[in-house]
Chains A and B, each alone.
Chain A
Amino acid sequence: MTISNLNLVGTLPLLFLSAWACGLLLVDLWIPGDRKHMTGWMALSGFAITFFWVSSNLGQREEAFGGMLAIDGFSNLLHLVFLGSGILATLLALNYLKQHDIERGEFYPLMLFSVVGMMIMSMAKDLIVVFLALEMLSIPLYVLVGFARTRADSEESALKYFLLGAFSSAFQVYGIALIYGATQATGFAAIGDAVAISGASPLLLAGIGLMLVGLAFKVSAVPLHMWTPDVYQGAPSVVTGFMSVGAKAAGFAAIVRIFFSAFHSLAADWAPVIVLFAVLSTVIGNVAAISQTSIKRMLAFSSIAHAGYVFVAIVPGGYGALSDFAASAVIFYLAAYGLTNIGAWSVVIAVDHADGMGSDISNYAGLARRSPGLAAAMTLFMLSLTGLPPTMGFVAKFYVFRAALAAGYTWLVVVGVVTVLISAYYYLRVIVVMWMNSGDGQVVTPRALNFTVGVTAAATLVLGLLPGPLMAIVESSVRGLF
């Protein structure tokens, strides 16, 4: 490799954010303990600069680091999802950390490092890079999950997340080793060529399966979902909101790139597995969510179910002409889920108290009377998570199901619609509790939180009513990529 095919210019936003994270880690050392919010604001400005930098050049199509990274519409749009969730979570963290008495400066650099890992993940065109990016996003997350160190449930969920995460990444590494053994390559293009010539060998299929275990764990697909409710419940809520969007989107980015480009010719082999993940995740996630009384666990099972809907969108990717359509549907769904879910978690943070009370669905009783704005926003988020109009969630589900229909998976769409109906039960229950029941719990709504809730609610509504422009951007940036 020489300096000419490094393409440092193309990766500048990424390099900038990494350097910003390293710099912030050092600068934070000289910031006194009672002014740690300054670190937060600096992290925020780093995110914001990168966000606008990336969004100014969405349509580029380049490669970097000798073809190991791709800089294209797919990665750029997902970068916006990661950076956006980083911005919103940092805004929430400014007050959350102080309120829960866990304010330490390291929180923000860890967040930046994790986002850098997610960004690399969506650009990866080589299995080595996929593995490194996965670890780079996970290791800061392990620490962030255990960030509320004085609380035992935070520590426990961190240990659980760490042990299971390391376990699954060991599977992934072994899978990569077998794929390398079967194809003599780690780059997606070279693997694709080798697979097209030699077809599927048992070694290769075993490798793909093991690698998929690692990725499916990250996106919390059934049957690799057992950690999700515990970790989402125990982790600080800002971290949960962040990881439920960022880590999931990054995992799906890698799945899309690997399966649409490297293993495109093996679609007949992997499509049934993806279908299985889709059916199991939507059914089990939604059914298990019904019986939850804690809103955090309910949202955790809901996130498992949403992983299932993204898998529904991935299935058509194996059908040649449809792979662009499928990739657009994945991006759109992840963006919709990200906006809505971070909004919902900010409401959870507002109702949640430092003493651990307020995470029960019954604590939402009477919210409509005490703070109508918050309740209205939560109503919107619940409608969007269900997939009802006029929200972005509806458009996203519609998009996903249309992609599956185009590939001829009518029965899968039927399963999807039935599970949406099941999910309506528990999402709408929250709305009923908020508007019909009376209660007198307290909410804490600092300005940054109101801003986050306002932005996400407005975006969920506006993009639900007028999805056209965003859809056009997504489709034009992804066209011809896969």
Chain B
Amino acid sequence: MIPTTYYLALSAILFSIGVIGVLVRRNAIVIFMSIELMLNSANLAFVAFAREFGTLDGQLMVFFVMTVAAAEVAVGLALIVAIFRSKASIDVDAVNLLKG
């Protein structure tokens, strides 16, 4: 059996990749994909803990996180498409009407 620590290390790595992706990439869709990666790394941690404890709470949580992620995808893609239609670009640096 693979020790839980390995899963946690993998999930931490995935989470960090997601954070770095959000911070360095400028394409709104890629940023959004990085956020999904972060959510899924949390899912991996949940499942790993649930297996270690032998309880189901963690697996249950994954269901909710996935559902919420889908809802976020719907709203996020709609916003990105709306921005693209008015600006013909989804580069977040082009989103500059507001200072700050």
Contacts and interface: CB of A to CB of B under 8 A. Distances in A.
Whether A and B touch (Cβ < 8 Å) is answered with yes
Interface of A: 128, 131-132, 135, 139, 142-143, 146, 149, 152-153, 155-160, 162-163, 166-167, 170-171, 173-174, 176-178, 180-181, 184-186, 226, 229-230, 233-234
B41 A174 contact: yes
B86 A167 contact: no
Nearest to A300: B100
Interface of chain A: mostly helix, strand, loop or mixed: helix
Given A131-B64, A170-B39, 15 more contacts: A128-B64, A131-B61, A146-B82, A149-B82, A152-B87, A156-B83, A156-B97, A163-B92, A174-B15, A177-B61, A178-B45, A180-B46, A181-B8, A184-B55, A234-B97
Interface string B47-76: 011000101011011001100100110011
Nearest to A149: B82
A180 B79 contact: no
Contacts of A152: 86-87, 97
Contacts of A186: 57, 61
Contact of B32 (A146, A149, A163, A184): A163
Nearest to A163: B31
B71 A176 contact: no
Contacts of A178: 45
A143 B80 CA distance: 12
Contact of A139 (B60, B61, B64, B71): B71
Nearest to A143: B75
Contacts of A160: 95, 98
Contact of B45 (A146, A155, A159, A174): A174
B28 interface: yes
Contact of B53 (A139, A153, A157, A184): A184
Contacts of A230: 98-100
A155 B79 contact: yes
Contacts of B31: 163
A139 B46 CA distance: 23
Contacts of A149: 82
B64 A146 contact: no
Given A128-B64, A152-B97, A167-B35, A174 B57 contact: no
How large, as a class, is the contact surface on chain B?
A: 35 or more
A131 B58 CA distance: 13
B45 A177 contact: yes
B100 A226 contact: yes
B52 to A, nearest CB: 8
A143 B72 CA distance: 11
B77 to A, nearest CB: 10
B65 A173 contact: yes
Nearest to B37: A170
A180 B49 contact: yes
A156 B95 contact: yes
Nearest to A178: B45
Contact of B35 (A131, A153, A170, A180): A170
Nearest to A175: B42
Contacts of A167: 22, 35, 38
B57 A185 contact: yes
A166 B98 contact: no
A160 B93 CA distance: 11
Contacts of B64: 128, 131-132
29 contacts: A128-B60, A128-B64, A131-B61, A135-B68, A135-B72, A139-B72, A155-B79, A155-B83, A156-B98, A157-B98, A158-B79, A159-B79, A159-B92, A162-B76, A163-B31, A163-B35, A163-B92, A167-B38, A170-B18, A170-B39, A174-B15, A174-B38, A174-B45, A176-B61, A177-B61, A180-B57, A180-B58, A180-B61, A186-B57
Residue from A180, A226, A233 whose CB has the most chain B CB atoms within 10 Å: A180
A180 B48 CA distance: 11
